[in-house]
Amino acid sequence: MSSVKVLIIEDDDVTALNLKMSLEKQGYEVIASADTGVSSRNKIKVYNPDVVLIDIALESRDDGIEVARFIRDKMPRPFIFLTAHSESEMLDKAKQTEPYGYIVKPFDPINLHTTIQMALHRFQEEQKRNNDTNELKNTQAHLEKLLYAKKLSDQPIVEFGDGYRHNIALKETCYHEEKIKLTKKDNAFISLLVAQLGGVVDFAQAIDYVWSQEGASENSVRTLVWRLRSKLPTDVIKNASGMGYYLEE
């Protein structure tokens, strides 16, 4: 708990002090306080807090909301609004910044702790999903590079098996010049196999590349391959001892 650094942005001295005392009693580290929009942005940059508590109305009616926009756009981290206001117009503006929670003043210490913990958890999960998405994009970009590295002359055509040709640009597969009717996922899987022609495509690669963020399992890959084999004239897709699949060159 002591590693969680909190920045309080509140222009009421009594409320700011009560927040500080309550947070420190619960094991949080209050690294700084601010009472204006300008000082808030500066202290966020300097102190790099783990979570920020923001009074919606600071110097002016919307100043806390402007600070929230700055955090969301420039220095992503969980932020929680402190509010004694119930006007629908102000709350609607606050919602647009996508806060990680609200605390109504006068605050309850238990609710304060719970809201901060939920905000931290949500932020960590979002970061994890973003990292997974970036990793997937990098994997897909790498596979695309592999595909285009296999161009024959200036044409993105790769031959495999006995009579198969796969057009990387169009994502179409032909057998002895006749186009095979395949689904989008079928051709994506063949593109993946072609990208690693001579090597094995494992289940994890297939799931990431073919299904992206839709969600799938090893059984999804097996089912796809079973259906795909029934559409191909020959048994060109080979098993690799439970590891995955590869193409007959």
Residue of 167, 143, 171 whose CA lies nearest to 155: 167
Position 208 scores a pLDDT of 80
pLDDT-derived band at 96 (thresholds 50, 70, 90) equals confident
Is 130 within a domain? Answer: no
Say if residue 114's pLDDT is above 80: yes
Q: Which one of 74, 105, 125 terminates a domain?
A: 125
My answer on whether 24 and 98 are in the same domain is yes
pLDDT-derived band at 164 (thresholds 50, 70, 90) equals very high
pLDDT-derived band at 233 (thresholds 50, 70, 90) equals very high
Pair 115, 80: CB distance under 8 Å: yes
pLDDT-derived band at 168 (thresholds 50, 70, 90) equals confident
Is 43 within a domain? Answer: yes
My answer on whether 101 and 152 are in the same domain is no
Higher pLDDT, 6 or 96: 6
My answer on whether 58 and 102 are in the same domain is yes
Q: How does the average pLDDT of the chain come out, rounded?
A: 83
My answer on whether 166 and 223 are in the same domain is yes
d(CA 33, CA 43): 8
Residue of 102, 121, 123 whose CA lies nearest to 112: 102
Partner residues linked to 164 by β-bridges: 160, 175
Position 240 scores a pLDDT of 83
* Helices within 109-175 (DSSP H only): 109-149
For residues 139, 141, 142 and 143, what is the CA-based torsion angle, rounded to 10 degrees?
90
Number of folded domains that form the chain:
2
Q: Which one of 125, 144, 171 terminates a domain?
A: 125
Say if residue 62's pLDDT is above 60: yes
Domain that holds residue 19: 5-125
**Tell me, what CATH number does 200's domain have?**
1.10.10.10
12-46 pLDDT per residue, tens:
899 999 999 999 999 999 999 998 888 899 999 99
Is 40 within a domain? Answer: yes
Position 182 scores a pLDDT of 92
For the ranges 103-107, 142-146, 165-169, 221-225, the one whose mean pLDDT is highest: 221-225
Residue of 33, 22, 64, 53 whose CA lies nearest to 119: 53
**Tell me, what CATH number does 118's domain have?**
3.40.50.2300
- 52 CB neighbour count, 10 Å cutoff: 27
Mean pLDDT of 188-207: 84
Q: Which one of 67, 95, 125 terminates a domain?
A: 125
Mean pLDDT of 227-238: 93
